[in-house]
A = this chain, B = another copy of it.
Amino acid sequence: MSGATVEIPPRSGDAFRMAKGDSLTVIDPRGRQVADLLAFNADDLDEVISSGRTLDYAETIRLTKGHKLYSNRSRVMLEIIEDTVGMHDFLLTPCSVDTFDHFYPDLPRHRGCFGNLAAALEPYGVVPDRIPVAFNCFMNVPIDGATGKLEVLPPLSGPGDHIRFVAHMDLVIGLTACSAPASNGGSFKPIEYRVEQA
């Protein structure tokens, strides 16, 4: 499957393995869409991507080319090697039934990225309680430095923008095309990805 581009339909998710050295390109084909990304050590699912470790080592919340994404055991899982957008979020957990109830009480309920990730990762042995803060590709969450307030704004990504990672260990990846209106400017669009061998 090296090099094949896979589409994740709107408001859904996928999961797959990638080997150490493989690259993963996440593409926003139409622009202004978000993809929540999770990573687990394929040989030990208790090792999982950690926002807190990553932000601590990076000393910034604005992660882009050259930054490494760390696990809860302080080991590098993924490294960002290309980034045509430069604005992603690593503060917020995937949207869920509960966040839909909270933010969109007048809209039909949806299981959200959380439910989509849980369903996609279940065959790999990941249970829902192990879903942490995701690396939210293209998600635009500026913070007001003076007040601490955060906003969820439409992504800055245009059609074809992408972010590319290289795996530093064998991984199970979860990835979504986001389901929450606020994070993608009110519309639901697909996401594409491509895994390429080293």
Which residues of chain A have a CB within 8 Å of any CB of chain B? 46-48, 50-53, 55-57, 59-62, 72-74, 91-93, 96, 98-99, 102, 129, 131-134, 142-151
Contact = CB atoms under 8 A, between A and B. Distances in A.
Contacts of A60: 147-150
Contacts of A55: 91-92, 150
A150 B59 contact: yes
A148 B50 contact: no
Instruction: Tell me the number of copies of this protein.
Output: 2
A166 B54 CA distance: 30
Nearest to A96: B74
Contact of A72 (B61, B91, B99, B131): B131
Given A91-B61, A102-B57, A52 B149 contact: no
B150 A61 contact: yes
Contacts of A91: 51-52, 55, 61, 91
